[in-house]
Structure 1
Amino acid sequence: MAHEVRAVVAPEKGAPVSVETIRVPDPGPGEALVEVRACGVCHTDMHYREGGVNNDFPFLLGHEAAGVVEATGADVTDVAPGDFVVLNWRAICGQCRACRRGDIEYCFATHNAGQKMTRADGSELSPALGIGAFAEKTLVAAGQCTRVDPRADPAVVGLLGCGVMAGMGAALNTAGVSRGDSVAVIGCGGVGDAAIAGSRLAGASRIIGVDVEDRKLRWAEGFGATHTVNSREQSPVEAIRELTEGNGTDVVIDAVGRPETYRQAFYARDLAGTLVLVGVPTPDMTIDLPLLDVFGRGGALKSSWYGDCLPSRDFPMLTDLYLQGRLDLEGFVSERIALDDVEEAFEKMHRGDVLRSVVVV
């Protein structure tokens, strides 16, 4: 039986989104039907709307979500109806070469639901990141559901499903920030501020936030930045060195993903330091660095996939820290909106007015 629900659809490249009635099938083997409670408005959704990911229009947008499992298909054992879950976009396969060697957070064959959700006319929808959660209900692979403490606010913990986890994981998992480390984060939007929060949680002694907007630098201070640098007004490399006795930081996290910020991150780290790229570049971007500098400065140049997270491990842990008052996830929620307000939320995001607008269903 198909479930008719309201949802946000991107009909064609660059066009405003529309709220439509869509059809969501009952779950088949390995699938779960989830009643969505809340879903964050992420830059990735805007990239889908603009055709920056692919051209498989129409898209069912939304992916930073939390909700309650309504039904499961055959062969599902990890979640059951009634479970409160955060959705993730990398359900692991357990069989690929990464999984077989124990690196399941790098699974090379992640998967989504096999059945398609459709518009009222029967045309198939492409769910953003295999989730499509700007909807009253969505269909996902059961492995995309991670159980967390049901006392948590869905509008808050749903953000673990993408941006917050990407930033925190870049610091905690990819960079391995540890007690006493110095860290610089370039780009203090949602992902960058999450990297700052993760660095603070790990015990970093000095955390430097870098951005071109003073408003975002104030946000960064709220999440734990001990120092801030406006890179419109001064060279971030020179400023970071001045704040670290001329050395540079142990870790630099590029949460922007542009050639110029990557170059800044490369030269702002200390010798043998670590650079982590978590900001997403566009396909046309390239980087040119002197190979002798790559060799001579040593250290590690890393890219962070989804914060190198393992949802079954990281989502419950971070949810518990939030409930204990040790992690300010609420601070990422700028406003709570309805499904009909997503297009306006994209405009606010484009202007830099919000960290996250969250659709409450």
Structure 2
Amino acid sequence: MNSQHKPVIGISCGDINGIGLEIIIKSFADSRILEHCTPVVFGSNKVLNFYKKAFPELHLNYQHIKEFERINPKQLNIFNCWEEDIQVTPGQLTDDGGKYAVLSLQAAVQALKDGHIDGLVTAPIHKKNTYNDNFKFTGHTPFLKASFNADDVVMMLYAEQFRVALVTEHVPVAEVAKHITQKSIVKKLLLLNESLKTDFLINTPRIAVLGLNPHAGDEGLIGTEEETIIKPAIKEAKNKGILAVGPYSADAFFARGHHHQFDAVLAMYHDQGLIPFKSLAAGDGVNYTVGLPVIRTSPDHGVAFDIAGKGVADAASFTNAIFECIDLIKRRNEYGEQRRNPIKRLNPEMFARMEDEKIEE
């Protein structure tokens, strides 16, 4: 994608009985978003119409297509992944909800692989009705990791400059400790550090590392993982040129606002990082999969069956995920341009003047 190209953003519809289609409709009802991207929703125009009827006041300019050659950059494009009529039951956990969520996701990922879209935004799915013999994944992240043969990935949520990444993701609390190894922490730090440079254009990222135990183990009195695993991992990461600091006691770290002093925080497990993040980010967070050769974002919430079909879902996080997908694509391209043009990387102002002089000539 060149710098003048408006990116084509693919969107998976998520569970058809969740809030995915509602927040898609609400996001794209503001046509100004079409100035920044060309959206392609992978799903069914019939299902979209079901939800659209609940919002007669919203004007949604869209067309349904079966070939990528028919994508219209001035409209929301619905790529029909299935033709059959299916029952939509908002708020209900059904087999069809999972089946068609997976069909949408698989079609979107294939389009990403084939270069038909430039980035992917995923609406929420439910693990209960998607995990089966044909889709043995506990969520989007492991599926994307396998789809793109990534050695490892990192789940990161962020809102502006507040970024929280995880060593373990959807792992039972009783099993977290056995997944915390020096190797896994170092791998996550390497990927996170590279992403902060490549995707966020931070030259020398500062990364805080949280401890596993209360009070970061109190020097071995409340657990030994900090002394035997986390500190050696931080030391190894520093030897690899990463500015990692810690381990910090998670409760005091966030309560005292220390996260503002770092470009990212690496938490040991899901709730340790995401409870403070979701509390402090106030619904504006975006989920980003670090470590993929492609860009994928999503909102920082789930299917929300309790409010599905009631018309009250907040689309803010999903809208942010769309714009962040666009910005991540641009920043990654800019980083690649800087790598190809060392003068631009070392002295961007001088490079800009040189480019202006060429134009004047």
TM-score calculated relative to the size of structure 2: 0.32
- Report which structure shows greater RCO (CA 8 Å, sep ≥6): 2
TM-score calculated relative to the size of structure 1: 0.32
